[in-house]
Amino acid sequence: MGEHQVSRNKQFSMFGLIKIFGVIGFIALSSSASADHGGGSHINLNLTVPAGSSGDYTVSWINVGNVVLQEKKDSGLYTTVYYGAGPSVAFTNQASGTYKYRILWVFCFYSCNTMYTLPETVVVSAVPPVPTGLTGPATDYDGAYTINWSASTGATSYNLEEKLDAGAWTQIYSGASINKAISGNAAGAYSYRVKACAGGSNCSAWSSTHVTTVAAAPSTPTGLTGPATDPDGSYTISWSSSTGSSSYTLEEQLGTGSWNAIYTGSSLSKAVTGNAAGIYTYRVKGCNVESACSGWSSTHVVDVSSAPPGPATPPTPGPNMDPGQGSTAASDTIGTTAGNFRVDESGAATYSIPIAAAAGTAGVAPQISLNYSSSAGNGIAGQGWSVGGLSAVSRCRQTVDQDKNVAPLTWTNSDR
């Protein structure tokens, strides 16, 4: 029960003597009635109370001398809370609940007549305590997180406000829950505060603040490198680290096909093996611990070309062959076979091995080579292989019929 200007008495039995319009009357101070309207006649004394309050309010009436003010809380009984001339009583620190007030007045002249005012009601919604335990992540990487707080005694709702950096406070939630899911926040420092309310307008002070910093998405990786061409399908793709990234995703595209992730991890390189001939394109992106990722890097292209097959393994000598054949003499030397590799205008891989031939008459030697093309069919030396330089050039001496002159071959430009 709240504190009043006067003390409360549960039961009164004395009478007050007054004189109204020259008539002697008595005010009975009995509080035995429990019905809202009492058992006697009604009297209008302009009894006034606020419709709602946070616990501090005043009950007033017109001044008619001593009266009895009675109060009933919720479904309880009426009890006398004041006896005196008034004409008002201040209440403080009332607990939450519905309070009804009425004035009891008894007029006596030869006989006594008990009169009551009609009851007036005030709904008290006491201010709840300030919420505590406002929590959330200190750092977030995707703008989606939850703000929580503890319940306040007597609170029926909570108001949560948010502030971005040094901006203004904005209400983002009002309701009975003690948490709020946040989503879609861009990078920045977000401050939060909450207050508890009872009856809508009776609210506590704001809580202490909590700050969640939403980190920016990682920067895009740079420096994506690898070979421009590769003959065997085994090579390494590398890239530089990016700010805010804890892992990287590398994707590969063959020709104009779809992109496929071939690596996810914290390394800054990926060894590629077993790729067949074709054009391979690569791109990489950085991601943080909450899977917020950067954009894709610029691409890098690797042209994998089919290398020509290596030389055949020499046959094993048969049982009837000279034992000396196939053996290595001390005078033998080991070297490399000369050759030339290129990708021709049609995109085919080619390889040419020159074949040395002895010089003939006048030191002229034919230019013969063993040639491979990945786009060629079955040739004289196998799939894709052919022999070059097989065409012939003939020299003729000068004759009377053709040249009006007779001259032998000179192996110069004068020959025909």
User: For a pLDDT cut of 90, what percent of the chain falls above it?
Assistant: 44
Residue boundaries of the structural domains of the chain: 3-124, 139-214, 229-304, 337-416
Q: What is the dihedral angle through the alpha carbons of 176, 178, 184, 188, rounded to the nearest 10 degrees?
A: 130
Q: What is the pLDDT of residue 125?
A: 78
Is 205 in a helix, a strand, or coil? coil
* Biggest CA-to-CA distance, the chain: 180
48-62, 130-144, 243-257, 345-359: least confident range:
345-359
Top-confidence residue, 303 or 337: 303
**Top CATH class, 139-214:** mainly beta
pLDDT of 189-210, one tens digit each? 999 999 999 876 788 999 999 9
Those residues with Cβ within 8 angstroms of residue 278's Cβ, 6 or more apart along the chain or in another chain: 254, 255, 304
Average pLDDT over residues 230-249: 94
d(CA 149, CA 204): 14
CB 379 within 8 A of CB 386: yes
Kindly report which listed range (6-20, 30-44, 138-152, 374-388) carries the lowest average pLDDT score: 6-20
Asked, colleague to colleague, whether 139-214 and 229-304 share their fold, the answer is: yes
Terminal CA-CA length for the chain: 136
Average pLDDT, stretch 120-134?
90
Question: What class does CATH assign to 229-304?
Answer: mainly beta
What's the topology of domain 3-124?
Immunoglobulin-like (2.60.40)
Answer whether 402's CB lies under 8 Å from 416's CB: yes
